[in-house]
Structure 1
Amino acid sequence: MNVFFSRLPCIGLLNRGQRNIRFLTNTTTPSNWNKVVSDAEKIVGYPTSFMSMRCLLSDELSNVAMHVRKLVGTKHPLLNTARGFVYESRNNLQMRGLVVLLMSKAAGPSQHTTSDLISQDMVSGIYPSQRNLAEITELIHTAFLVHRGIVNLKEWTNSDGTLKDMQFGNKMAVLSGDFLLANACTGLAQLNNTKAVELISSAIGDLVQGIYHEMPNHLEDNSLGDDITMVTWEEQMFLSHGALLAKSCQAAMELAKHDKEAQGLAYKYGRHLSLGHKLNSELQPFIKSSSTDPVTFSLNSAPVIFHRQTVGQEKWHHQLQQAKTIGRQIDYTKLRSTIKLEDGVTSTMDLCHYHSSKALESIQSFPSSEARSALENIASAVTKF
């Protein structure tokens, strides 16, 4: 098997004007974060690299990887993603699948065990169907990451590479992303659970809608959405970053025949964990880098939205104009210094703590266990800035 797609990291792709989005990865304290994840992996029975996924061993995907090699030497973002699958896997862990497995183990078997569940042999307290769901969740996430690597050729310039390379890379991003998504849908059908299929299918729809709303936000100055509030931010971020995890956790409960209350708690954990990690990610440019380090961030990130609401639209636009260079480009280092003078960063931290506490609250009714403790550690880790 070709190694290009042998690992599935949670890294974003870089379109022109798009930020590198790293989700569910604590970049400030990697040693502590890696320990939390390593301990959690041992609890669920095997590491979350999901090397066992049948589609990753297929001849079709090996052929895709062979074609991706043709992009070597170009600047197409799909090649950077392929490299990340191999070289950055240690820092970009597949957290969605891990959380689904931990949630499955923490909840345990249901009181409403059916004959089809009795016939399944649990491994480390997790049903095979729940492990399959974890793999499906990772496949869907990776498929959308690959699709995000499509370059907008209307913004293409000679410095990006030859037009032929960009066109070929786009074709590979579409085909390989579709291949992963098709395999995920096939595996979803094999779960033989209508509600689980409905939940994950709706999560795919949420992802599409969320990414559609995100697209204008990658156009620098055109991304100044004055109408975007934190309510709007949360709605959009849930669609593009939280729905898949939340609904996968709920589907894991459904596969074990847990009642609606348990399913709702699992959904709540996935939702709040996702939003907490997204807030943590958007805080990094404001708290990690020094005042002299080059920096960039979305003008629709949570700290900026909080800042804009604090100072008002008129003052915000004045600050933005002052942060522009002679070439009308934004000096993000200067703009960051301005934003840090107000309460936008601290308000984002407070909201991050809120989502972490809500995630912790949602699993307190589950039996005390190593799996529940691991979920608690992961939820607490989002507040480590």
Structure 2
Amino acid sequence: MEHISPRGTWKHREAPGFHGVLAVGAAGVKRGFVYDSRNNLQMRGLVVLLISKAAGPSTAELSFQHNMVSGIYSSQRSLAEITELIHTAFLVHRGIVNIGELKSCDGPLKDMQFGNKMAVLSGDFLLANACTSLAQLQNTKVVELISSAIGDLVQGIYYENSKTSENCLTDDIGISGWKEQVFLSHSALLAKSCQAAMELAKHSVEIQDMAFQYGKHMSMSHKLHSDLQPFVKESSSDTMAFSLNSAPAVLHQEFLGREAWIEQIREARGKGNKMDYKKLQEAIKAGKGVTSAIDLCRRHGNRALAALEHFPSSEARDALANIIYAMTRFP
């Protein structure tokens, strides 16, 4: 197995000759999944398809609903679409504006209220379609898995929005609390969708668990990679704004102490209550938060690669491994 070294060096493997969706995975994974954080490239469904392809055909007798095309069962393709529908629905719901925080310069209040109503209705419509398609799979375990993932998403978003700390800028949580929140709001849907794809093909419990582990640790690694971008990007001349609840900031707070961290935030705010992100970024870089977050990203990447070792060697497995390699590479 190829583990990621502490210095981030490894032999990068390409996977040529993919058919259909696998071609998208090989060509687009490194360019889009990791680096283009401004666009929703709908990669969760692709990962579900790739891991379905990597697991191969089932030895169990399946019904006519499970006809296979290009090594992927039709029910697994439906599940990939359902996963994307759920993810998109929650993205739409997250676009709801807090009317109470609006200022007169933000625009007419009626427009904002109308936009909120449309966001709620659109998200609910997508979720309703996802639930209808989920029922059509006629697999109670899969329904249970995806339903619990929806519940996890709701709980994770609730945690994200229930700020109790000073001025709602940063939460008083350690990295273990951060991991729990990120699993609920980012990892649970993909992890359980990967497991559900294995259940649809009646693969063994061990393979189902390994698919879950890959989805979980890959998405955790991706979130860490995303959180680290403001601190490791070399091409950007301007300082990027970042969340004070991102992994480097949380780890920085753990090493520094809560009171000293709050004092650094106060100093960075300065006059006019405007945050000086460059000053705060430099303070975090000077500590251990960034290097610790990089190490954590690679640890999750290695655990995802370890899960992949339980799948037979194939181009699809190589594509899934390349996702991890791309996410754990830093300047």
TM-score bin (small chain): 0.7 to 0.9
Moved over 4 A (4+): 38-41, 45-48, 88-91, 217-220, 289-292
Amino acid at match of 1:132: S
Equivalent residues in 2 for 1:85-124, closer than 5 Å: 91-111=39-59, 113-116=60-63, 120-124=66-70
Following superposition, the deviation at residue 218 of structure 1 comes to: 11
CA distance in 2, matches of 1:89, 1:349: 18
- 2:188 paired with 1:249: no
Q: Is the CA contact 1:305–1:344 (under 8 Å) kept in the aligned structure 2? A: yes
CA distance in 1, matches of 2:273, 2:224: 29
Partner of residue 294, structure 2: 349
Amino acid at match of 2:301: S
Change (3 A) 1:166 1:152: same
Q: Is the CA contact 1:39–1:374 (under 8 Å) kept in the aligned structure 2? A: no
Partner of residue 83, structure 1: none
Change (3 A) 1:380 1:271: same
Following superposition, the deviation at residue 130 of structure 1 comes to: 0.1
Equivalent residues in 2 for 1:316-327, closer than 5 Å: 316-327=261-272
CA distance in 2, matches of 1:200, 1:127: 18
Change (3 A) 1:167 1:46: farther
Q: Is the CA contact 1:44–1:124 (under 8 Å) kept in the aligned structure 2? A: no
Equivalent residues in 2 for 1:260-279, closer than 5 Å: 260-279=205-224
Following superposition, the deviation at residue 247 of structure 1 comes to: 0.1
- 2:140 paired with 1:194: yes
Partner of residue 275, structure 2: 330
Following superposition, the deviation at residue 223 of structure 1 comes to: 3.1
Among 106, 114, 119, which residue is 1:168 paired with? 114
- 2:97 paired with 1:142: no
Following superposition, the deviation at residue 259 of structure 1 comes to: 1.3
Q: Is the CA contact 1:230–1:302 (under 8 Å) kept in the aligned structure 2? A: yes
Amino acid at match of 1:323: A
Equivalent residues in 2 for 1:26-105, closer than 5 Å: 42=19, 44=21, 91-105=39-53
CA distance in 2, matches of 1:370, 1:146: 34
Percent of aligned positions that are identical: 62
Among 345, 359, 366, which residue is 2:304 paired with? 359
Partner of residue 378, structure 1: 323
CA distance in 2, matches of 1:172, 1:45: 35
TM-score by length of 2: 0.87
CA distance in 2, matches of 1:123, 1:91: 29
Partner of residue 233, structure 1: 178
Change (3 A) 1:377 1:292: closer
Q: Is the CA contact 1:133–1:252 (under 8 Å) kept in the aligned structure 2? A: yes
Following superposition, the deviation at residue 41 of structure 1 comes to: 7.1
Following superposition, the deviation at residue 44 of structure 1 comes to: 3.6
CA distance in 2, matches of 1:182, 1:219: 35
Q: Is the CA contact 2:18–2:315 (under 8 Å) kept in the aligned structure 1? A: no
CA distance in 1, matches of 2:216, 2:156: 14
Q: What is the CA deviation profile of residues 288-330 of structure 1, one whole-angstrom value per residue up to 9, with x for unaligned ones?
A: 1679614211111110111111122232222222212211222
Equivalent residues in 2 for 1:293-332, closer than 5 Å: 293-332=238-277
CA distance in 2, matches of 1:199, 1:380: 28
**Greater RCO, 1 or 2 (C-alpha within 8 Å, sep 6+):** 2
Give the SS at the match of 1:323: helix
Change (3 A) 1:218 1:337: farther
Following superposition, the deviation at residue 89 of structure 1 comes to: 11
CA distance in 2, matches of 1:190, 1:47: 27
Q: Is the CA contact 1:291–1:333 (under 8 Å) kept in the aligned structure 2? A: no
CA distance in 2, matches of 1:384, 1:288: 12
Tell me, which stretches of 5 or more residues in structure 2 are unaligned? 1-12, 26-35
Amino acid at match of 2:274: Q
TM-score by length of 1: 0.75
CA distance in 2, matches of 1:292, 1:46: 34
Amino acid at match of 2:69: V
- 2:78 paired with 1:132: yes
CA distance in 2, matches of 1:125, 1:248: 18
Give the SS at the match of 1:327: helix
Partner of residue 5, structure 2: none
Q: Is the CA contact 2:230–2:239 (under 8 Å) kept in the aligned structure 1? A: no
Give the SS at the match of 2:70: coil
Q: Is the CA contact 2:75–2:137 (under 8 Å) kept in the aligned structure 1? A: yes
Q: What is the CA deviation profile of residues 207-265 of structure 1, one whole-angstrom value per residue up to 9, with x for unaligned ones?
A: 00000000135998313222x01000000000000000000000000000011111000
Q: Is the CA contact 2:191–2:216 (under 8 Å) kept in the aligned structure 1? A: yes
Equivalent residues in 2 for 1:278-297, closer than 5 Å: 278-288=223-233, 293-297=238-242
Following superposition, the deviation at residue 365 of structure 1 comes to: 1.6
